[in-house]
Amino acid sequence: MTKDISITEVAKRAGVSIATVSRVFHNRGPVKESTRRKIESIIEETGYTPNQLARELANKKTQLIGLIVHDFTGEGLPRAINGVNQIVEDQGYHVLMTSTRGNLDSELRNFEILRSKRVEGIIFATRSFKKEHQEIIEKLPIPVVVMLQDTTENGISSVFFQNKQFAYDATKALLGMNHRQLAFFGGPSASVNSSHRKDGFIQAFMEAGMTPDDKMVKHGDFSIESGYIQMNKLLALKKPFTALVTINDAVAIGAINCLLDHGMRIPEDVSIIALDKTVVADASRVQLSAVSYSYQDLGIQAAKLLVKQIGSGNKTIEQIKIDYDVHLQDSTQRLNVKE
Amino acid sequence: MTKDISITEVAKRAGVSIATVSRVFHNRGPVKESTRRKIESIIEETGYTPNQLARELANKKTQLIGLIVHDFTGEGLPRAINGVNQIVEDQGYHVLMTSTRGNLDSELRNFEILRSKRVEGIIFATRSFKKEHQEIIEKLPIPVVVMLQDTTENGISSVFFQNKQFAYDATKALLGMNHRQLAFFGGPSASVNSSHRKDGFIQAFMEAGMTPDDKMVKHGDFSIESGYIQMNKLLALKKPFTALVTINDAVAIGAINCLLDHGMRIPEDVSIIALDKTVVADASRVQLSAVSYSYQDLGIQAAKLLVKQIGSGNKTIEQIKIDYDVHLQDSTQRLNVKE
DNA sequence: TTGTAGGCGTTATCAG
DNA sequence: CTGATAACGCCTACAA
């Protein structure tokens, strides 16, 4: 339980001025070898650590970046946060974290709080980007990078997944395997990412000259249980379908479990492709065909972009799209066309 | 892109002294109504936000707590972090987060960094608590709470799960169902928590008057895949067993999938109980019997304890054990004893 | 009701 | 080589 000691105290004990102590501590400027040693030994025995607050006040640099997220759970976000932290620490920055529970007021307040803490930049992850966000960000004297949403139109840099694009690709893959009766299990209808994925699904569908049946497009949340429930409802409709696109792997597993419980087989009876692949996918008894993309990379790119903007001082708007892969494994199968 | 403005600047524009501006901003002390309005309008139009650094320097309070974790991923930790953040923000504190990738040097360095940032307390989550940690913590002028390990013996407050106890209870439950040939799938042998759970398993086993067979105790990691691999190895031994205790639900699912792939049935052929229940458990086709405890609560308790210690200024050593439940569901079954 | 001034712990500039 | 001293932005007596 050593108490914190100030540079003045060290100087006093060494019988020198604080300027000299500072020089010794930072190895800069000339110092006579004997006094240097004297000071060093005092620093050692007192356990002196410079007060970063004072230091930061003096050079107007906090080496802090702020992070605003809904919460810290979920399959992907923690990985993204990890990516952010990794990059940021490598650059000598630290992360001040805040969570908002998705509450708009809380989000806006967090921008204020982080600003008053003089963070040098902010990474903001949100499920839905609103005008209020844009307004507050515009007034901020520091760069902001949005994660998970494309905010290019709002004049703000962002790093995000290509939701519509990969949903389109995945759907095309199913169509290419001769499937024509497709279902889609989305997330909450309020989720922007979910609706973009739905858009991709529908676009591929329509380009194939078909009109999607509203009844085949369901909404739930991102959980395994939700997949199970949605599938139960779908089966109750007694409408034929040969393939399914799900918002993520958890929902796919729920759907698969439900199908298996009804005595159906994957992929013989139904082909399934998931639009997100996390560790949960490993739990599937059928190797899941899925679109995958790296949350870690999402965080890394966001952090790199932010640090770059902090360094260059300019706020040019950049847009970074994270790559994805469509992996076809055992849960999808070519449909034999019966004439 | 409003620039940050200082209190001096506001005072200048309002034609008053900074003391008056301060009074207005904090609503304290008497201020003439007209000058108050004048100042308020200037604060409004300049978007003045007090510089927390300067403020904190002046009152020697940062309202910051530090968090040191291995990384931000995993099933449980993000929930714990969420719990921490929730409590801490409610109390007007903020969290400075650092991750160490399990590297000892990095852990020690993070203590120094956080200290120099003058956080008022630290929450440290680690997989193995070492002497080096103890030494550095003892020298810190601020309270530290360790999460996930019992560090009472090291004279440091901690909040943790009752690993040995619940492993013992779970094993007893199986023994109570007449199972006598038990296997145990642990995590990495270096994991302290894993070895405590193994201890509980072995103790229950020995209390029943039996000696555990080393071959039936396996080590891997915490993943679904690891469960699958360990089960494959176990089956290769061709040793009979009727029940299995796994380090967590993911490993249980891997083991179950492997058993199902070998044409065996759960729980008819093997009863399984997992020593941790997270969202992954939902993916199991057989409702998993498992021990469950709240990671969120772990974080909440740790944060509450830390805030309390910061407030009271004393560093009394406290120990908080998180409660658990043993839920017996469909993956375990009473064994019919054949005479 | 308002202003002055010292202090918080550093950094940095400029004399000695 | 070394030491004053003015910032940095704010708080808080204490004076006026």
The verdict on B171 and B273 lying in the same domain is: yes
Q: Give CA–CA dist B101/A181, Å, rounded.
A: 47
Per-residue pLDDT tens for B274-284? 999 999 999 99
Nucleotide nearest to B7 in CA–C1' terms: D9
Q: A141-155, A197-211, B308-322: which range is least confident on average?
A: B308-322
- Pairwise CB contact (< 8 Å): B82 & A74: no
The gap from C-alpha B22 to its chain's centroid, in whole angstroms, comes to: 41
Quickly count: other Cβ atoms within 10 Å of residue A122's Cβ: 23
* Token representation of residue B285: 């086709």
Q: How many domains does chain A have?
A: 2
The verdict on B172 and B284 lying in the same domain is: yes
Provide, in whole angstroms, the distance separating residue A26's CA from nucleotide D1's C1'.
Answer: 16
The verdict on B138 and B189 lying in the same domain is: no
Average pLDDT of the segment spanning A221-232: 96
Establish if A125 belongs to a structural domain: yes
Establish if B334 belongs to a structural domain: no
User: What pLDDT score does B2 carry?
Assistant: 63
The verdict on B157 and B304 lying in the same domain is: yes
Q: Measure CA to C1' and name the residue nearest D9.
A: B54
Establish if B236 belongs to a structural domain: yes
Provide, in whole angstroms, the distance separating residue B317's CA from nucleotide D9's C1'.
Answer: 38
User: What pLDDT score does A339 carry?
Assistant: 46
Establish if A146 belongs to a structural domain: yes
User: What pLDDT score does B338 carry?
Assistant: 60
When comparing pLDDT for B91 and A102, which is higher?
B91
Q: Give CA–CA dist A67/A87, Å, rounded.
A: 13
Query: For the CA atoms of chain B, what is the radius of gyration?
Result: 27
Cross-chain CB nearest to B141 (options A1, A253, A260): A1
Establish if A263 belongs to a structural domain: yes
What is the value of pTM for the model shown? 0.93
Q: Give CA–CA dist B278/B181, Å, rounded.
A: 27
The verdict on A198 and A143 lying in the same domain is: no
Q: What percent of chain B has pLDDT over 70?
A: 98
Establish if B122 belongs to a structural domain: yes
Q: Give CA–CA dist B83/B102, Å, rounded.
A: 22
* Token representation of residue A1: 């339980």
Closest-CA distance, A117 to chain B, in angstroms, reads 5
The verdict on A158 and A174 lying in the same domain is: no
Per-residue H/E/C for A245-302 = EECCHHHHHHHHHHHHHCCCCCCCCCEEEECCCCHHHHHCCCCCEEEECCHHHHHHHH
The verdict on B147 and B188 lying in the same domain is: no
Please give the residue range of the domain that contains residue B200.
163-292
Nucleotide nearest to B31 in CA–C1' terms: C1
Going across the sheet that includes B243-246, the strands are: B217-219, B182-186, B243-246, B271-274, B289-292, B325-327
Q: Is pLDDT of A270 > 90?
A: yes
Q: Check which CATH number belongs to the domain holding A102 and give it.
A: 3.40.50.2300
Establish if B13 belongs to a structural domain: no
Q: Give B339's pLDDT tier (boundaries 50, 70, 90).
A: very low
* SS3 of residue B277 by DSSP: coil
The verdict on A200 and A103 lying in the same domain is: no
The verdict on B154 and B299 lying in the same domain is: yes
Q: Measure CA to C1' and name the residue nearest C9.
A: A54
Q: Give A2's pLDDT tier (boundaries 50, 70, 90).
A: low
Q: Is pLDDT of B255 > 90?
A: yes
The verdict on A78 and A171 lying in the same domain is: no
Q: Give CA–CA dist A79/A260, Å, rounded.
A: 31
User: What pLDDT score does A338 carry?
Assistant: 60
User: What pLDDT score does B104 carry?
Assistant: 93
Name the residues in A42-81 having a C-beta closer than 7 Å to nucleic acid strand C. Answer: 48-51, 53-55, 57-59
Burial zone of B180 (CB within 10 Å; 0-12 exposed, 13-18 middle, 19+ buried): middle
Helix ranges (H only) for chain A are 7-14, 18-26, 33-46, 52-59, 77-90, 104-116, 131-139, 163-176, 192-207, 224-237, 249-261, 295-312
User: What pLDDT score does A312 carry?
Assistant: 85
Per-residue pLDDT tens for B94-119? 999 999 988 999 999 999 999 999 99
Per-residue pLDDT tens for A116-155? 999 999 999 998 899 999 999 999 999 999 999 999 999 9
- Mean pLDDT for all residues in chain A: 93
Quickly count: other Cβ atoms within 10 Å of residue B287's Cβ: 14
Interchain contact B53–A (C-beta under 8 A): yes
Chain A contacts in chain B segment 267-296 (CB below 8 A): 279-280, 282-285
Establish if B92 belongs to a structural domain: yes
